[in-house]
Amino acid sequence: MKVVSSDIVISAVKPEQYPDTEIPEFALAGRSNVGKSSFINKMLNRKGLARISSKPGKTQTLNFYLINEILHFVDVPGYGYAKVSKTERAAWGKMIETYFTTREQLRAVVLIVDLRHPPTSDDVMMYDFLKHYGIPCIIIATKADKIPRGKWQKHLKVTRETFELDQNDHIVLFSSETGEGKDQAWSILQSYM
Ligand code: GDP
């Protein structure tokens, strides 16, 4: 998809703040520092729309981006950052659980992982949570430029096996550095619209 416009609409915490529209939505989730902001910026051809490496774990809001006036990306605050208090973690859990389980516009969750390493236990927990609620999941294995091309398939296999990936779920090898996987990611997203 050719992105001609993208803008932040709202940073929301509560359902009353979610945009009151019917347009399809994709949430983006991932461990802090995994490359989620870079993924969003690459997909939208924007340099600094989603903030790159602002303090991990700090943004505790759901950030809604309107794209081409026809879909939303919803940036979910990263998980797995050690220096987050129990209270903050609980608030994060409640916010995303409410969003994931009640938002009818949500078509799929884009779960971003690091291709270089097997998914962490937090990644697997997130995936299992989505499966439990029957939410389609698109795995983006990013930072592919950091490993040699010849090892890509081996790493993808480890990722697939660690998640015990559902047949219906997609996995895309990605690099925000080179743009690898961008067209594939867009065509998968469009298939859910
Ligand atoms: P976030 O916390 O998940 O939003 O992660 P960021 O997008 O801020 O990325 C964390 C760090 O990884 C930054 O230094 C990025 O420049 C780097 N990074 C993100 N994606 C890639 C990628 O595909 N390739 C490479 N080489 N570096 C990346």
> ipTM, 2 decimals?
0.99
Kindly state whether residue 108 falls inside one of the protein's structural domains: yes
Give the pLDDT of residue 56.
Answer: 53
Ligand 1 near 33 CB (within 6 A): yes
Chain centroid offset of residue 22 CA = 20
Residue 170: predicted pLDDT? 96
- Listed in order, strand segments (DSSP E) in 104-161 are 106-114, 137-142
Q: Is the CB of 55 under 6 A from ligand 1?
A: no
**Does residue 94 lie in a domain region?**
yes
Residue 90's identity, in one-letter code, is A
Supply the pTM of this predicted model: 0.95
Residues lower than pLDDT 70 in the chain: 52-59
List the CATH number of the domain containing 122.
3.40.50.300
Ligand 1 centroid – CA 35 distance (Å): 4
User: Domain range for residue 30?
Assistant: 6-191
Residue 100 falls inside a structural domain:
yes
Residue 167 has a pLDDT of 84
Name the closest-CA residue to atom 18, ligand 1. Answer: 35
Q: Is the CB of 38 inside a 6 Å radius of any atom of ligand 1?
A: yes
Instruction: Output the six-digit token pair for 23.
Output: 């347009």
Q: How far is CA 10 from the centre of its chain?
A: 17
The secondary structure element, H or E, covering residue 125 is helix 121-132
175 CB less than 6 Å from ligand 1? yes
Domain for residue 55, yes or no? yes
pLDDT reported for residue 53: 46
CA distance 63 to 186: 20
Domain count, the chain: 1
In this prediction, residue 59 carries a pLDDT of 53
The answer to whether residue 149 sits within a structural domain is yes
Answer whether residue 1 is part of any domain: no
